[in-house]
Amino acid sequence: MQAYDLDSQNPEGPLRYPPPENWSIPVGRIAGIAIYVSYSVFIALAIVAVLVATIQNRQGQADLPVVASTTVAVWATGWLVQLIVFLGFQSTTFAHSDSLTIGLLGAEVGFPLSRRRCWTAATNVLVAGTCLAALTVLGVGCLAMHLSAKSLDLGTLANWTQTLSTPGFGFGTVENIYLAATWMFWFQAFCQAFPMPRNLGRGGLISLMALFAAEADEEFKRKLARRMIQLLSLVLMLIALSILLVEPTQQVPRWPAIVLLSLLLWQSAGRSDVVAWIRSVEFAKIDQSESAALLLDYPASGSGSFAATRSHGSNLTGSPGLAGSQRAKSPGLVKRATDSFLLYQKRKRARLALQRERSEAFDISRLDEVLQIVSEKGKAALSSEDLALLERVSEMLRKNRQSAEATDGLSNQTDGQS
């Protein structure tokens, strides 16, 4: 099954909604949702398999395959929990999805405008919060099972804290697999809450901001979302500096990884998905039957609806005397977003028509060559591509003939009436 992104075109006609990008493979449908698995999952599994095969023969690593298999199963359980949450909301009337991609961390939302019906800010926050809460509770349950297996009192707080301070996080032996599962579920929840692109926390954070700034315009929301993400990046940088000051020199340094995360988060603050999340929340306020798949033109391009928003903002601030009248005359956010969506649909239809004409012209140019092969060697000598070309040309001629007959019939009817 071929997947197309927003800028590619399906030769069979326009899509009802943009499917996931090419970096994933379809695996089936559950409850009406097309499930895709990212190629990064298979790459990670291959790396784990190579590492286990390389290290398992070393002394003291005999149980490594069992530990690795159990770890992968626990991590996949976290994916299953997130999938169940999405399927649960799918059964409601306000959180429908056409597709869901499973990545390394679980559920991914790369482009919220690709949904057939955009989710409201409250729905985004609720879905993300439910997934994170489910993973957290599952980790607590695994920790309780670990304490019960060790015959420790669950009602004593010291037992919980002492168990969590176990060196190696429980990955050393199979006996501590429940403790390892606890840390894995919590780590998965933390990674999903981290507001990087495609993570649940990013959409939840921007949607939460949109709830508190519901009356603000798009430009203000974009700036506020960027500042929030950049603020978290600065907090991470401060944490890295504090670890650098107190971390013993004989240990493997941890602060470079935190600095790298901080830089990646800072860089992601300017990504286009920030505007996509903001616009999806605004489109969710409109009861629409089709997905609001906007052709996003961002500040870097300086064109499109977002550039229009910027020009409106500059006009409002450039002349204090005319600010009130210009603000009153400027169209609202929903009007601008709707106009942008209609413009995108016109451009898309034009691109489809142009591509269809080019495809037909190419088929006609090769038709003589294919017919020559048929006359010399017969139809059996044609390749699958040549046969497909003949079918397309035949279908094109049939449609043209039907169109011509319909036109002639209409003209004859008009002549008879006259």
- Supply 132's token pair: 């994170």
The neighbour count for residue 339, using CB atoms within 10 Å, is 13
- Residue 1 belongs to some domain of the structure: no
- Residue 364 belongs to some domain of the structure: yes
**Percentage with pLDDT > 90 across the chain:** 12
How many structural domains is the chain composed of? 2
Of residues 282 and 406, more confidence is placed in: 282
- Residue 53 belongs to some domain of the structure: yes
- Residue 261 belongs to some domain of the structure: no
- Residue 288 belongs to some domain of the structure: no
**Percentage with pLDDT > 70 across the chain:** 75
Q: Among 191, 213, 235, where does a domain finish?
A: 213
Question: Do 37 and 25 touch, CB atoms closer than 8 A?
Answer: yes
Residue 294 to residue 348: CA distance in whole angstroms: 11
Q: Among 157, 181, 213, where does a domain finish?
A: 213
- Residue 118 belongs to some domain of the structure: yes
Q: Among 192, 213, 234, where does a domain finish?
A: 213
Question: Do 41 and 102 touch, CB atoms closer than 8 A?
Answer: yes
Query: Residue 411: which pLDDT band, with cuts at 50, 70 and 90?
Result: low
- Residue 125 belongs to some domain of the structure: yes
Position 107 scores a pLDDT of: 87
Tens of pLDDT along 169-202?
767 667 778 888 888 999 999 999 999 888 898 9
Question: Do 53 and 80 touch, CB atoms closer than 8 A?
Answer: no
- Residue 201 belongs to some domain of the structure: yes
Position 286 scores a pLDDT of: 67
Same domain, 35 and 183: yes
Specify the long-range contacts of residues 376-384, CB closer than 8 Å, at least 24 apart: none
Query: Residue 35: which pLDDT band, with cuts at 50, 70 and 90?
Result: confident
3-state secondary structure of 4: coil
Residue 146 to residue 405: CA distance in whole angstroms: 77
Residue 168 φ/ψ region, left for φ over 0, alpha for ψ in the -120 to 50 degree band, beta for the rest: left
- Find the domain containing 400 and state its range: 349-417
Residue 313 to residue 337: CA distance in whole angstroms: 16
Sign of the torsion angle spanned by Cα atoms 156, 157, 163, 167: negative
Of residues 401 and 20, more confidence is placed in: 401
